[in-house]
Chains A and B, each alone.
Chain A
Amino acid sequence: MNAIEMKEINKSFFGTPVLKDVNFSVLPGEIHGLAGENGAGKSTLMKILQGVYTMDSGLIEVAGSPAEISSFQDARQYGIGMVFQEFSLIPELTVAQNIFLNREPTNKFRLISDRSSIAKAHKVLESVGIDIDVTVKVSTLSRAFQQLTEIAKAIAAEAKILILDEPTASLAKHEVDSLFKVLKQLTASGVSIIYISHRMDEIYQICDRITILRDGNLVAVDSLKNLSPQEVIAHITGRKDVEMLSYEGREVDRRSTPVLKVVELSAGDRVKKVSIELHAGEVLGFAGLMGSGRTEILRAIFGLDKVGSGKIYINGEEKTIKNPREAKGVGMALIPEDRRRQGLIMEHSISTNILSANLEKLSHFSFLNFQKINQFSQTAITDFEIRPPEAKREVKLLSGGNQQKVVIAKWVATNPSIILMDEPTVGVDIGTKVEIMKLVRSLAAQGKSIIVVSSELPELLGVCDRILIVKNGEVTDSLERYEIRDEDHLQLMLQGINA
């Protein structure tokens, strides 16, 4: 008997079909992968299972009997738990308070006992091997820790079916490993897991079977033992041969004055005496574990965090950059890691979002030039293949990957000479990942200087000319790309093992 069976599910938004007669089933105790391009309908299918959206037609069965799921509570009653792609955490509450939100343990006077939720939360986190201080506010946690809190929350709710929508998007390798250990442990106790991911290696590492969607159609269901990665990718993209990312050696002229030179920059307690030289046309990668301070280094350079000491030179000239406006003024752009919070105004349209960073260019004496704006956003939409290609569509209605493309499009449109990218391919599908990386390289070829922070080592290895290892807010090593043999080699370097 299937733990979950979804039969002939149909769903459209504004008359556009997003799911077409999709069948989907999950066995008890299996980890079932759900794959497909950005906008294929994965999240929509899962939101139907969650009661967030109502299907237009179709049938859902839980453990063999028909289930009416029309609200999140219903789903919870059926033992379906979800780790949201967009977080369901309340920033001002603590980790423990969030984990038990809306089902707080109470004492005999029916008052909330924070002490017991702290103890329980601690136990859950311990069982999962996550070390978070459960008494801190969620808003003070990094994305990775928020993600882990989100996972702990679903586990604490004792879900029988756990849906994880791109759970590792912001996790470092060892965090992914410990997450996977937990997932395996959960399946052993009979929990079924639905696992949405754009990362092939993960799917093969953890999933038993896979369902692949393309443009709202079911295109394949099979055990992963029967499918080669090439076949999976072919199903996902609908194309026979997909170009993979591989490094091609390039020459960067390092004799000229660096475009960006950072000398012994310190900021807060997360950035310690960081020195960087970035030349025209160079792609520099930051590799490091989650929480190593890579994001903070970018933030300090970009004027988002207060700089304690150190100097920044742009084209040889010393500059003080106190805020993002000044950073923009010297030709910098930062593509932030958390698009929902820092990159986009979710309620605004694609074109308004793109406009927000390009106001000067698209107006005349402060009056907006709508013709130019339309042209401009249409170009961006075509260049970055944003789907659906409707400039007026609110970005919160786009799939995660397309939202990310809007962020990148917006900043590239400001025509910066220095681009700082923090995890630019989070939540982006395989095809688009390659496109974004190609874009990075073509920007570099045009002479732009780029810093890429990424937890996906193959990505760094694919585009970077040089890779800095960041640890505890310090740059501990600097490697030329040709000095690095392969991913394993870089992984060892990251863990501080010189090999």
Chain B
Amino acid sequence: MKTKSLTRFDWRSSFIYWMFALIFLFFGILLRNDGFLSPNNLLNIFRQTATISVVAVGMTFVIACAEIDLSVGGVAGLSSVVVAVTIRDHGAVAGVLAGIGVGLLVGSINGLLVSRIGIPSFLVTLGMQGVAVGTAALITNYAPIPILSDAFNRVFGSGSIGRFPSVIFWSFSAVLLGWITLTRTTFGRRILATGGNRDAAEFNGIDTKRIKFTVLLISSTVAAIAGMIYAGRLQTGRYEWGTGDELSAIAAVILGGTSLFGGGGTIIGTLFGALLVGLINNGLILAGLPVSEQQIIRGLIIILAVALAKKK
């Protein structure tokens, strides 16, 4: 007896790449005289998507595990502020540690509430988003805190390695690490198992509570690092950094082909999803559309793309 493998070509699984190519071509032709294809602009797209792609890598883990993390934007803002304040008072190294501490702290709280008490991650992280942004605003009294450490700013965003902005290094590392973790480690496999069928995963001896805890911890920590990249790039900490990033990150993950229902996940897809979101933003700005129209078109493109990418 032979299994009939369903090898019919599944264009949906490679959908994001087609979509990416198509939109790239579209803007490339339409905006060829506006410098869309100039190396500088292309590098810009990368730079602008760096934070989203970093956050989206963490988000891929969460969604593959059939959970969601809406607090990442808030965590990024909070981390930027805590980093800025700590650097001002205690120097750059303490600042970085404090930033990561923010991610670990928020992530543990999210993780504990979801895995131990059993509150849906949607609610926990929605609440946490408010708490994080509010705390950031409270600490700084709504004011931006400048960061004067050159070293910090260079490492986290303003500097460059050869021709490449250091932010790209961050997003590249996040993607590489995320990709290896999800596809090549037992931890990654356990995430997919937990998201795919939690009961079955339990029967296989997987501690699904711990997995849920860990993915939320990772997502928060990664978001805190994204907050530091904001801080370094803009040389300030501000509670508003990262606002709305959770939605861009979720859009990137889903566009990339990860199912919202868990059980599957592709980091490379997520990277292209993030790049696609960045591409669209960049193109719309270069086209000189007013912000309101940009928002409408961006929203429509994302809905359309997700609708097309949706598996039956």
Do A133 and B203 touch (CB < 8 A)?
Answer: no
Interface residues of B in 198-214 (CB under 8 A from A): 199-206
Q: Is A253 an interface residue (CB 8 A)?
A: no
Q: Is A132 an interface residue (CB 8 A)?
A: yes
Please name all residues of chain A whose beta carbon is closer than 8 Å to the beta carbon of B183 when the two chains form the complex: 112
Do B186 and A112 touch (CB < 8 A)?
Answer: yes
Interface residues of A in 91-105 (CB under 8 A from B): 91-93, 97, 101-102, 104
Comparing A18-26, A82-90, A211-219, the segment that makes contact with chain B is A82-90
Question: Top 9 closest A-B pairs, CB basis?
Answer: A92-B263, A88-B203, A90-B196, A111-B184, A92-B196, A88-B200, A90-B193, A73-B205, A102-B204
Interface residues of B in 1-48 (CB under 8 A from A): 1-6
CB distance from B264 to the nearest CB of A (A): 5
Q: Is A175 an interface residue (CB 8 A)?
A: yes
Q: Is A483 an interface residue (CB 8 A)?
A: no
Please name all residues of chain B whose beta carbon is closer than 8 Å to the beta carbon of A145 when the two chains form the complex: 3
A132–B5 Cα distance when bound, in Å, is 9
Known: A89-B197, A102-B205. A97 touches B3 (CB 8 A): no
Please name all residues of chain A whose beta carbon is closer than 8 Å to the beta carbon of B238 when the two chains form the complex: none
Q: Known A-B contacts: A88-B203, A132-B3. Give 13 more (CB < 8 A).
A: A72-B204, A72-B205, A73-B205, A86-B199, A88-B204, A90-B200, A93-B196, A101-B204, A101-B206, A104-B186, A112-B189, A131-B3, A140-B6
Do A91 and B197 touch (CB < 8 A)?
Answer: yes
Please name all residues of chain B whose beta carbon is closer than 8 Å to the beta carbon of A101 when the two chains form the complex: 189, 193, 204, 206
CB distance from B7 to the nearest CB of A (A): 9
Instruction: Specify the chain B residue showing the minimal Cβ separation from A132.
Output: B3
Q: Is A290 an interface residue (CB 8 A)?
A: yes
A140–B6 Cα distance when bound, in Å, is 7
Interface residues of A in 118-164 (CB under 8 A from B): 131-133, 135-136, 140-141, 145
Q: Mark A41-56, 1 if CB is under 8 A from B, else 0.
A: 0000000000010000
Q: Is A478 an interface residue (CB 8 A)?
A: no
Q: Is B292 an interface residue (CB 8 A)?
A: no
List 19 A-B pairs, Cβ < 8 Å.
A72-B205, A73-B205, A90-B193, A90-B197, A90-B263, A91-B197, A92-B192, A92-B264, A93-B189, A93-B193, A93-B196, A101-B193, A102-B189, A102-B190, A102-B204, A106-B186, A112-B184, A132-B3, A133-B2
Query: Interface of B with A (CB < 8 Å)?
Result: 1-6, 180, 183-186, 188-190, 192-193, 195-197, 199-206, 259, 263-264
A327–B184 Cα distance when bound, in Å, is 46
Instruction: Specify the chain B residue showing the minimal Cβ separation from A178.
Output: B1
CB distance from A140 to the nearest CB of B (A): 5
Q: Which of A52, A73, A102 has the most CB of B within 10 A?
A: A102
Q: Is A328 an interface residue (CB 8 A)?
A: no
A213–B264 Cα distance when bound, in Å, is 42
Do A111 and B203 touch (CB < 8 A)?
Answer: no
- Tell me what chain A mostly uses at the interface: helix, strand, loop, or mixed: loop
A101–B186 Cα distance when bound, in Å, is 8
Known: A72-B203, A92-B264. A291 touches B185 (CB 8 A): no
Please name all residues of chain A whose beta carbon is closer than 8 Å to the beta carbon of B1 when the two chains form the complex: 131, 175, 289-291
A332–B105 Cα distance when bound, in Å, is 57
Do A76 and B186 touch (CB < 8 A)?
Answer: no
Known: A101-B204, A102-B204, A290-B1. A93 touches B6 (CB 8 A): no
A250–B185 Cα distance when bound, in Å, is 62
A136–B4 Cα distance when bound, in Å, is 10
A136–B185 Cα distance when bound, in Å, is 20
Instruction: Specify the chain B residue showing the minimal Cβ separation from A136.
Output: B5
Q: Is A251 an interface residue (CB 8 A)?
A: no
A97–B185 Cα distance when bound, in Å, is 12
CB distance from A176 to the nearest CB of B (A): 12
A180–B183 Cα distance when bound, in Å, is 36
Instruction: Specify the chain A residue showing the minimal Cβ separation from B262.
Output: A92
Please name all residues of chain A whose beta carbon is closer than 8 Å to the beta carbon of B188 when the two chains form the complex: 112
A71–B202 Cα distance when bound, in Å, is 10
Do B5 and A140 touch (CB < 8 A)?
Answer: yes
A226–B193 Cα distance when bound, in Å, is 46
A102–B211 Cα distance when bound, in Å, is 12
Instruction: Specify the chain A residue showing the minimal Cβ separation from B187.
Output: A112
Please name all residues of chain B whose beta carbon is closer than 8 Å to the beta carbon of A92 when the two chains form the complex: 192, 195-196, 259, 263-264
Please name all residues of chain A whose beta carbon is closer than 8 Å to the beta carbon of B204 when the two chains form the complex: 72, 88, 101-102
Do A76 and B196 touch (CB < 8 A)?
Answer: no
Interface residues of A in 57-77 (CB under 8 A from B): 71-73, 76
Do A76 and B205 touch (CB < 8 A)?
Answer: yes
Instruction: Specify the chain B residue showing the minimal Cβ separation from A97.
Output: B189
A474–B107 Cα distance when bound, in Å, is 56
A86–B203 Cα distance when bound, in Å, is 10
Do A141 and B189 touch (CB < 8 A)?
Answer: no
Please name all residues of chain A whose beta carbon is closer than 8 Å to the beta carbon of B202 when the two chains form the complex: 72
A71–B207 Cα distance when bound, in Å, is 11
CB distance from B178 to the nearest CB of A (A): 14
Do B5 and A102 touch (CB < 8 A)?
Answer: no
CB distance from A259 to the nearest CB of B (A): 32
A84–B204 Cα distance when bound, in Å, is 11
Please name all residues of chain A whose beta carbon is closer than 8 Å to the beta carbon of B2 when the two chains form the complex: 131, 133
